[in-house]
Structures are given as C-alpha cells and as structure tokens.
C-alpha cells in the first residue's frame, strides 16, 4: 500500500489520525510545524516519516514531492483557539492548503485518482443537498462568517472540493468529514455517520470525540465500501 500524507499532523486530531494509521501498518508522511515534532511519539515506527514545515509557506511544487508518494491526503488543519490563531495570518489556512493539495495532485502524472479527506465542521453546510438549517442557526452562522475568519475558511475549503473539484474530477476523489462539537476521549467508542446534521449545530450541538473522527478517517483509507459510500459527500459524525 502507498503512503498516506497527513497535513496538520501535529494537531489534536491529526496526531490521532497518524497513530491509528501507524497501528494499521500504513506508511505515513506527516507534515508538522517545525516546533511540533511527533518523533518522540512515533519516531520508533519504521513506517513514519516526518516533514517539518509550515504548510502555508510550502509551494504546490514542494508539496507535490510528498503527494507523489501517496494515494491519500488527509487534512486535519485548523485554527488555534487563540486571538492570533483566529485573527492572525494565515486567515485562509485550511482553504489555501486544500487548494495547494489539489494543485499538487493535478501536477502529478498518475492514472489512479488520489483521495483527499478534509476534516471540516458541522457549521459548514453541504449545499449539494437540501439540508434543513434552522433560522436561528442561519443567523448565527452568518454573523460568525463576518466576525470569525475560521468559519469562512472552512466554508471555502469545503466549497473548493464540492464545487471546483466536484464528483467527476479526473485526478481527485474526496470526502469532507464534519464532526460536531469536538471532545477528547481516550479510546474509540461507538459512533454513527449521517448525511446531514440531526440537530441545530449552534444551540443543540452533538458531541464527537477526536479519536472517533480519526478512526473514521482512517477507515475511509482502508475500507473500500466505506469510501464508495461517502465519496464526494460531507458526512456528519456523532458519538453513539
């Protein structure tokens, strides 16, 4: 099996994705921030390769050097919940990075399609289907879109895959995974996946553990039936 590239690998969910892939004996190339090495945790794995780099400062050509080795790219990028993380640069970290990933994929001469898995949010609606969005949720999300750059960033990242890449792209297949309110748990537990949020994501948000999100994304890379079920879609994941 080819390697899997994980960007945002040093984040709270990203490192769990790396851990679960390695546990399945899958080779991983992890792009981590220069100050956030995972060598102490995973350096003893022979199938772990670490690249220290700021993804926002990498060119598509530089990224292609890593993408060419991989059949799947998983993005766990997100904004730190601090003032500088929310309002500082790069404001379009997720969207710009996923565009860079798809540009890198398209620059590679490869017959098989490359899979892209994006970790997103239930605050981002899937406009390809008719999702029920309560008025109160629409109002709050509209305000967040104006005031909090990460909301617009996540929307633009998902829209790039949904609109620009689409379901029939010659080089790329994708899934955009939407967890609800993220919580930390020590072990994978029962969870279920829906096409759309089942409740108001602002005033009645569900819970999704990061480790369950990591497990679902790992399974998308290893289970063909699961991938075909959700390819080109934006599944919502909830703890059971």
| Count of domains for the chain | 1
* DSSP string covering the chain: --EEEEESTTSTTHHHHHHHHHHTT--EEEEE-TT---HHHHTT-TTEEEEE--GGG--HHHHHHHHTTEEEEEE-----SSHHHHHSS-TTHHHHHHHHHHHHHHTS--SSPEEEEEE--TTS--TTS-----HHHHHHHHHHHHH-HHHHHHHHHHHIIIIII-SS-SSEEEEEEEE-EEE--SS---EEEESS-SS-TTTS--EEEHHHHHHHHHHHHH-HHHHHHHTTS--EEEE-
CATH of the domain at 128: 3.40.50.720
* Residues 180-194: tens digit of each pLDDT: 999 999 999 999 999
What is the C-alpha separation between 237 and 219, in angstroms, rounded?
13
Q: Give residue-wise pLDDT tens across range 119-156.
A: 999 999 999 999 999 999 999 999 999 888 899 999 99
Domain ranges, residue 112: 3-239
Q: Note the pLDDT tens digit of each residue in 95-115.
A: 999 999 999 999 998 889 999
Of residues 81 and 174, the one with the higher pLDDT is 174
- Which pLDDT does position 110 carry in this prediction? 86
Question: Of residues 1 and 166, which shows the higher confidence score?
Answer: 166
Mean pLDDT of 173-181: 97
* 4-62 tens-digit pLDDT: 999 999 999 999 999 999 999 999 999 999 888 899 999 999 999 999 999 989 999 99
Predicted TM-score (pTM) of this structure: 0.94
């Amino acid at each position: 099996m080819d390697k899997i590239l994980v960007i945002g690998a040093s984040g709270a969910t990203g490192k769990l994705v790396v851990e679960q892939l390695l546990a399945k004996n899958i080779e991983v190339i992890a792009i981590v921030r220069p100050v956030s090495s995972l060598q102490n945790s995973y350096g003893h794995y022979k199938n772990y390769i670490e690249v220290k780099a700021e993804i926002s400062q990498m060119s598509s050509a530089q990224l292609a050097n890593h993408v060419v080795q991989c059949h799947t790219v998983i993005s766990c990028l997100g904004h730190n919940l601090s003032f500088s993380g929310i309002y500082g640069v790069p404001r379009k970290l997720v969207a710009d990075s996923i565009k860079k990933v798809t540009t890198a994929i398209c620059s590679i001469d490869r017959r098989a399609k490359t899979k892209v898995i994006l970790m997103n949010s239930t605050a981002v609606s899937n406009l390809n289907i008719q999702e029920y969005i309560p008025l109160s949720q629409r109002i709050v999300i509209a305000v967040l879109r104006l005031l909090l750059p990460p909301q617009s960033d996540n929307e633009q990242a998902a829209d790039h895959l949904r609109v620009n890449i689409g379901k029939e792209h010659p080089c790329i297949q994708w899934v955009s995974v939407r967890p609800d309110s993220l919580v930390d748990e020590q072990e994978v537990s029962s969870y279920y996946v829906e096409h759309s949020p089942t409740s108001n994501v602002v005033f009645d948000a569900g819970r999704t553990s990061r480790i369950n999100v990591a497990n679902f994304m790992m399974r998308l890379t290893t289970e063909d039936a699961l991938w075909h079920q959700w390819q080109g879609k934006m599944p919502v994941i909830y703890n059971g």
